[in-house]
Amino acid sequence: MGDSKGNLVTMAKKAVLVGCNYPGTKAELKGCVNDVERMYRCLTDRFKFQKDNITVLIDTDENFRKPTGANIRKALLGLVGGAEPGDVLFFHYSGHGVRLPAETGDEDDTGYDECIVPTDMNLITDDDFREFVDKVPSDCIFTIVADSCHSGGLIKKEKEQIGDSTKNRNEQNREAQFDGEQKREGRFGFRDLLSETVHDAVHDAFESRGIHLPSRHGHKHHSEYNKEETVKVLRYREGEARNRSLPLSILIEILKEKTGREDIDIGKIRATLFDIFREDASPKVKKFVKVLVTKLESNDDGGFLGAIGNLAQQFLKQKLEDSGDSSGYLEPALQENVSSTHEVYAGSTKNRVQDMGMLISGCQSDQTSADANPTGNPNNAYGALSNAIQAILSEHYVPMANRELVMRARKMLSDQGFTQRPGLYCSDWHADAPFIC
C-alpha cells in the first residue's frame, strides 16, 4: 500500500491466530495448535510483527484465551475496529469447518452457510466474515488464511481468483490424470471423501425439510448415527490424516450435551445456537431467529405461538412457552437490523466501493481439508495448507505474491497426495500483492 509518491506505508502489523484442537471430544484434531505456533514464529521472525500485536487463542493451554465464538468475534472486531489506513491485518484459523444446510423450509432459502467451528461450537458464518471485512478501512490489507473444510466460501461474495470456477480445461485434465494415478497406485486423497460429502449434503438438504431418505449405510434416520460417527480418518502418501470437516451428527451430539435436550436435529441447529449463546451468537443466527419470530407473529390466528410449519419454528415455539418472558428471551435477536429475508438467507447486497479482504482457503467450499499426522506423533501434526505455506515461505525469502503462493501450495499438496485445492478470493489488486508484507 503506497502514499501519493508510491512509497510503501505501513502503520502497524496486527494479527489474530486461532487454533482449535477440541481436546477430549469426538471432534478432536491434532495439528491446529501446532499451525498457530508455527505461524506465530513466522510472523515475528520473517514479517516482523510485534508480539504485543498478535492475539493467540488456543484450546490446549490454560495460559491462553480460549477460542470460543465470543472470544474469536471479539478479537476480530478489535482487529478491524482499531485498524488505520496502511495497517496490515492478518487472521489465521486452523480447526473444523462445517456447512449448515437450509433450515427454514422456504423456497427462497439459499441454503448452506459455510462456518468455522470455535471450541464451544458457537459457529461463525461466512456472512459474519463478510461483515468483518466490510469494517476494514480503505488502504488497509486484511489477509485471512483459513485451514479448515468448506473454507472456499468463508468471505461471502468475495471475488474468486483461484478456484474451481476459474480453472481451465488443462487444469481439469491434469487433476483427472492425477486422480487416475492415485487409484492405480492405491493411494487415497481427499477427493475420495468428496463424493461422500456431496451425498451427505444432498441428504442433509432433504432432511432439513423433513424428508427422510435412506442412508447409504442403511435405512436409519440421520440422528441415529450420532454416537457412531467420528471425524473421518484417511490415508495419504506420507501417513494418516483426519478430516477437518465436522460432521453434522457430531455437532448435534455436542449441542445435545450442552443443552440436555434429545430433540435437537437438522432443522433446529440455528435455533439451538441462539438458545445456547443468545447475545454471543452469530449475527446471522440472531437474524434467522428474528425472521422466525416475524413468521410466528404473522400466523392467521394472530397468536404469537400459532401453528408452526417447520422444526426451527417448533423449537422456538417451545422455548418461548418455557421461558415465560418472550420479550426478554428474544431481545438479542430483535435488536438485529433485518431489511429483508433475503438478507438473512443470502447475506447483505450492499455495494462495496473498496474490498480490503483477502482469503486463502485450505480447499474449495465443497471440499475438506486435511489434519495430517505423518509420524503418528501429535507434536508433528499439521494442517496440510498451513504446512505448505510454511514450507514455501522457508524456501523463498523474497516477497511472494498471493497468487503465486496459492498456486505453489496447490502443486505441493497435489505432489504430497492431497486432493484438496486451496483457493484465493480477493480483488485483482490483492491477488498480485505480496503475501502479508
**Catalytic residue list:** 96, 149
d(CA 59, CA 140): 30
CA 259 to chain centre: 23
Residue with cell 474469536: 72
Cell 449448515 belongs to: 100
173 Cβ contact list (under 8 Å, min separation 6): none
CA dist., res. 307 & res. 256, Å (int): 25
Q: Tell me, rounded to whole angstroms, the distance of Cα 420 from its chain centroid.
A: 15
Q: Which grid cell is 407?
A: 498456486
| Residue 415, all three cell numbers | 505432489
DSSP 57-123: EESS-TTSB---HHHHHHHHHHHHHT--TT-EEEEEEES-EEEEPP-S--TT----EEEE--TT---
Helix (H) or strand (E) holding 241: strand 239-243
275 with 328: CB under 8 angstroms?
Answer: no
